[in-house]
Amino acid sequence: MKLANVTWLQDVKVQAQALASNQVEADAVIVIGTKAEFELASGFPGAEACAEAVRRGLFEAGCCKTYVVPTGQEQAPVLIAIGRKEEALTVKQVRLMLAEAAREAVKLRLGRISVIVPQELVQAAGEDAKAMAHAMVEGFMLGAYQRVTYKKDAKPAHEFASFTLCAEGLAEAAWTEGAERGTAYAYGTTFARDLTNLPGNVLYPSTLAEAALELAKEHGFEAHVLDEKQIEEKGMGGLLGVGKGSVNPPRMIVLKYQGKDEWTDVYGLVGKGITFDTGGISLKRAGNMDEMICDMGGAAAVLGAMAAIGRIRPQANVLCVVASAENMPAGNALKPGDVLTSYSGRTIEVLNTDAEGRLVLADGMTYAKELGASKLIDVATLTGAVGVALGSITTGVVTNNDEFFGQFKAAAARTNELVWELPSNQEYWDMLKSDVADVRNAIPGGAGTITAGLFVGTFADDLPWVHLDIAGTAFLGSGRGVDPKGATGVMVRTITETVLAK
């Protein structure tokens, strides 16, 4: 399966060079500066033209605002100037600035890009230098994302040949290491975006499994896939029940990365892989149902994290489990009132077939535990309620372990992906009780995001567990920050950061 943006990102040459700005050779140079700095600019291609634009009021140099001007110099024909505040640059600002510059570069279809690193950042050393390099590369690659269209005369996704960070006196080793890390994070996020944006007639459980196996082959992961017969033989009643109404049967997908000598202290990443969700017998309304191609955004997130981990090769053990099905209405489909037996042996009363994600995750969580997971992170576009509570800006979190969530929250602060912990008091757990089964899959009366998360957490048992509800953040109606319209690949970077911070 060809993923267009992933293809060019795999091939782009990323590097850091100790090079004076007047020695740069590229299709475009990117320069960051304040209004005052641009007004007095000199020494880089296009400096005079940029300074004149500021003096004439054509470029106000507001924070993250861009101005594109021909330089008249063959060595670097285009300047992309980015405004900044007078205060010290932050990682978050740099990431956003480079995303905006990337969008301009895509419009102009420029192939070789060089960023002239601001002098104040050239002085950064060690981890600070790595963090800035990481943010610059990551921001540019995320901003350069182009959603594939299927129009007759559609242009192919624009490909970049090279991306260079340069400045006189730059510490090449630290900046190169940071750039490589930023590329890996962007690659994983892009993998998730490309996968999530695929239409439902292209991506279904078996083709999602094929994409995962291709990823495993590329990075040398151990991998296996259970088909519908094996799923039934194992007694994975949640996954089987959701998938049985579709002509595209379910799959349980497993990838394993072992970065330590012993298979211990294993991160278990569990993703909801509903490749299309009609709601089943509890049919959704027609409006915006097309966006349900993103209902496998959790699966995309954990696979994207594996893609990043595969490039970085950390000393960590990571298990990825994706429970994938297509939720469709049919004569043999799951019905409200049915009782399923999950892989854990717990029985589930089905009150709403549109609460299907938690059913497949239940079996995914149990299978991850069986395969050796020591701590669990599950990711799912699980509830519309999370969007009501937090909009499309923040990912909702439910957890059973404050220490584990503390590590995750710290990682999210570094990646600038917003998360918010919701309460998990005993009273919410009690709402899951059923009269006829061990648990029920839908609870009337509110707290939908909390109780849905706690349903999944039931199958974590005593393992440390963090649940991420990305229903509001996985797919946007319009672009924002580093994220484009459509799939965002949210939580790939934070999951990866959590694993690497160990």
Q: Which residues are catalytic?
A: 284, 358
The full DSSP string for 321-383 is EEEEEEE---TTS--TT-EEE-TTS-EEE-S-TT--HHHHHHHHHHHHHHTT-SEEEEEE---
| Greatest pairwise CA separation for the chain in angstroms | 77
Tokens standing for residue 16: 């850091």
272 is in an annotated binding site: yes
Q: Is 290 flagged in the annotation as binding?
A: no
Give the Cβ contact number of residue 151 at 10 Å. Answer: 7
Neighbours of 467 (CB within 10 A): 31
Annotation-wise, does 483 bind a ligand? no
Handedness of CA 413, 419, 425, 426 (dihedral sign): negative
Question: Letter for the amino acid at 259?
Answer: G
The secondary structure element, H or E, covering residue 257 is strand 251-258
Give the dihedral sign, CA 283/284/290/293. Answer: negative
Secondary structure in 3-state letters for 103-115: HHHHHHCCCEEEE
- Taking the CA of residue 307 as centre, how many other CA atoms within 13 Å lie in the half-sphere pointing to its CB? 33
In the block, tokens 């009021």 appear at: 57
CA distance 333 to 353: 9
The annotation status of 354 as a binding-site residue, yes or no, is yes
CA dihedral sign of residues 179, 187, 216, 406: positive
Q: Which two tokens stand for residue 234?
A: 């194992």
Q: Is residue 69 within 8 Å of residue 61, measured between CB atoms?
A: no
Annotated binding site: 272, 277, 295, 354, 356
Annotated binding site for Mn(2+): 272, 277, 295, 354, 356
